[in-house]
Amino acid sequence: MEYRTYPEFSTHYPLILTTFMKRPVKVYPNEIGVVYRNHVSGEYFRFTWIEWYKRTCRLANALNSLGVKPGKPSEPGERVATMALNTHRHLELYYAVPCSGAVLHPINVRLALEHIIYTINHAKDTIIFFDDLMLPMVEGIYDQIKNTVKKFVYMSDKPGLPDTKIDNLYEYELLLQQESEKFEWPYLNEDNYATLCYTTGTTGLPKGVMFTHRALYLQSLHLIAQTSMVNDPTYVHLGENIITMIMTPLFHIHAWGAPFHYVFMGVKIVLPGTFTVDGFCELVQTEKVTTVSVVPTILALLLEYKDLDNYSLSSLKAVGVGGGALPLGLKTKVENKIPGFTATSGYGMTETAPVTIRAFVKKYMANWSKEKLDTVRVKTGISIPGLEVEVFDDNEKKIPHDNKTIGQIVIRGPWVMEKYYKNPEKSADVWYDGWFHTGDLAKVDEEDFIIIADRMSDIIRSGAEMVPTVLLENLAALADFVLEATVVGVPDEIWGEKAMAIVKLVPGSDKNEQDLIDFLTVEGVDKGKITQWMLPKLIAIVDEIPRTSVGKFNKIEIRKNLDKFLEKAKDMKKA
């Protein structure tokens, strides 16, 4: 007699995001799992896990009713786009779309309009779900996308549809009301595509990157696993009692993985709509938020906030910082201002879903002083378990771990992109010799920690030497009178390029350009961190430093408006 086996439910059981969605419903069905605060009205919405799950099931049924077709490996399902902030509806879309077999395309609404239009048409999005606040933007691009997008879904806390020129417009909440709260989730192939993200287009048109269920599943498990490998004496292990606020926009590279691993963990997720300083403080105080991930800009804005002392932020224990280097000076200032939490650095990019490297305290470091440990916490770090990360020279050889030699970060692993969507030429530019080449420059110290030095496009080439701008930026941020600083190269007739520092001072500071040079000389040159010729030749003190859509210093924008900054800059050779 022949017995049937079931490899599809055993050895070949698919690694799909549906597993993540089902766990909190099974374990904590009646606990509040999702909290959303409308950042405009201040109104709160709270959902138990079972309530959130039933809404997600209704949404999956609505997608079927709207005719959204699933895909299969190597053949993506229909692309369903979102133009939305951090709301419960966006989190519902994060599961209903990929878990029903389609592909979620979160559109970065902070991109230039021409780039938003390009990504929609390039992805061939058939449906766009958009927030009420995005209505003017969608109307503004409607004529350029209406031949691609067949249906639009309007999402709002208020009932009804707006008076608009947009055809085939549906109301999100009404769609859900019309559908069943039960849905039979398919057992998809783990190699089905789940999401499509686009780069920010800082070096040309945005490039699309697709991720499979398997890739996102494995990244999430490895991120969770790393939390058990902690030797930092400040680490407070809260397990499932974590209360996290997703500050990274859900439209930006999966909000750094938060919607996946935090849902799987079944922890309470707080959604702020978008960032406002007072909203951040209120939510931390009200919801007792314990962990959050932010870009450095948010820490600087907190330092500037005059009403900060009116809030209790003592629940905060861990703050992850990405989207740019975490300067030790900024870390020290904000931790002194808001005692009780520890900020640590991390690194990733669109092509890696994004998390690849995190700051890490090794076990033999646990008894080091706080001051010494803080220098470790601001290093880019070591690779996430499950990835191979190296730094290669121009000959594709590992650089020496001497904290001096600079090379390019290369990566490979199960959640690194295979190729750019419909762009084989650009894929070949970054994937060769078996490694994905990031375009980011770094050095490796004697403890084997990777330390970002610069983007290849940003490093200053002065004469025969290279000036890593991140090094100067981090050093300048150590000054107690500097809130933020960035460094760019400007043309020089003799040396080719010279360094210009663009600086924003802390509120009320009366320091000047020479004070910064004096500080960099004492803390940098005299201590051997930089050489004399690395000192900025020009310094511009400004009210604001341009930022990209994801909070990084916008050096392209600075270069486009170089004359404006040169007018404000003081020539330190003549000072």
**How much is the pLDDT for 460?**
80
DSSP 399-465: PPSSS---EEEEEESTTS-SSBTT-HHHHHHHEETTEEEEEEEEEE-TT--EEEEEETTT-EEETTE
The tens digit of pLDDT for each residue in 303-353 reads 999 999 999 999 999 999 998 889 999 999 999 999 999 999 999 999 999
Q: How confident is the model at residue 546 (pLDDT cuts 50, 70, 90)?
A: very high
Q: What is the mean pLDDT of residues 50-64?
A: 98
Whole-number pLDDT of residue 550: 72
Query: What pLDDT, on the 0 to 100 scale, is given for residue 280?
Result: 97
The whole-chain average pLDDT of the chain stands at 94
Q: How far apart are CA 419 and CA 547, in angstroms?
A: 28
Q: What is the pLDDT confidence band of residue 41, given thresholds at 50, 70 and 90?
A: very high
Question: Looking at residue 185, what is its pLDDT?
Answer: 98
Q: What is the pLDDT of residue 109?
A: 93
Q: Are 116 and 198 in contact (CB under 8 A)?
A: no
Give 450's strand partners: 381, 444
Query: What pLDDT band is residue 415 in, cutting at 50, 70 and 90?
Result: very high
With a pLDDT cut of 70, the percent of the chain lying above it is: 98
Is the distance from CB of 435 to CB of 478 less than 8 angstroms?
no
Using DSSP, state whether 89 is helix, strand or coil. Answer: helix
The model's pLDDT over 526-540, given as tens digits with 9 standing for 90+, comes to: 988 888 878 999 999
Span 401-428, mean pLDDT?
96
pLDDT band at 497 (very low <50, low <70, confident <90, very high): confident
pLDDT at position 369: 96
- Omega of the bond prior to 73 within 30 degrees of 0, cis? no
The crossing angle, in degrees rounded to 10, of helices 296-304 and 328-337 is 40
Q: Which two tokens stand for residue 535?
A: 């000192």
**Per-residue tokens: 284:** 């931390």
Q: Angle at CA 396, nearest 5°, toward 390 and 399? A: 55
Give residue 77's pLDDT.
Answer: 98
Specify burial of residue 82 (Cβ count, 10 A radius: 0-12, 13-18, 19+). Answer: buried
CA distances from 456 to 433, 442, 452, 469 (A): 19, 10, 11, 11
d(C-alpha 469, C-alpha 474), whole Å:
9
Q: What is the mean pLDDT of residues 429-451?
A: 95
Average pLDDT (12-18) is 97
User: Taking a C-beta distance cutoff of 8 angstroms, is the pair 208, 120 a contact?
Assistant: no
What amino acid is encoded at 175 in this protein? L
* Percent composition of the chain: helix, strand, coil (DSSP 3-state, to 5): 35, 25, 40
**Does the pLDDT at position 368 exceed 80?**
yes
pLDDT given for residue 463 in this prediction: 62
Q: Over 70: is that where the pLDDT of 203 sits?
A: no
Specify the DSSP class assigned to residue 232.
-
- With 0.85 as the threshold, say if the pTM is over it: yes
Average pLDDT on 393-415 reads 96
Locate all alpha helices (DSSP H) within 478-561, ordered by sequence.
513-520, 555-560
pLDDT for 464 beyond 60:
no
One-character DSSP codes across 250-263:
TTSGGGGGHHHHHH
Q: How far apart are CA 57 and CA 546, in angstroms?
A: 42
Rounded Cα distance, 25 and 389, in Å: 36
pLDDT tier for residue 458 given thresholds of 50, 70 and 90: confident
DSSP conformation class of 15: -
Q: Give the model's pLDDT for residue 466.
A: 67
67 backbone dihedrals φ, ψ, rounded to 5°: 85, 20
| Residue range 115-129, pLDDT digits in tens | 999 999 999 999 999
What pLDDT, on the 0 to 100 scale, is given for residue 107? 97
Give ∠ CA 537-543-547 in degrees, rounded to 5: 85
Domains of the chain by range and CATH? 18-444 (3.40.50.12780), 466-571 (3.30.300.30)
- Calculate what percentage of the chain has a pLDDT beyond 90: 83
The residues facing 75 across adjacent strands are: 72
Q: Give the CA distances from residue 310 to residues 28, 192, 338, 413, in Å, rounded to whole numbers and listed in that order.
A: 34, 49, 12, 46
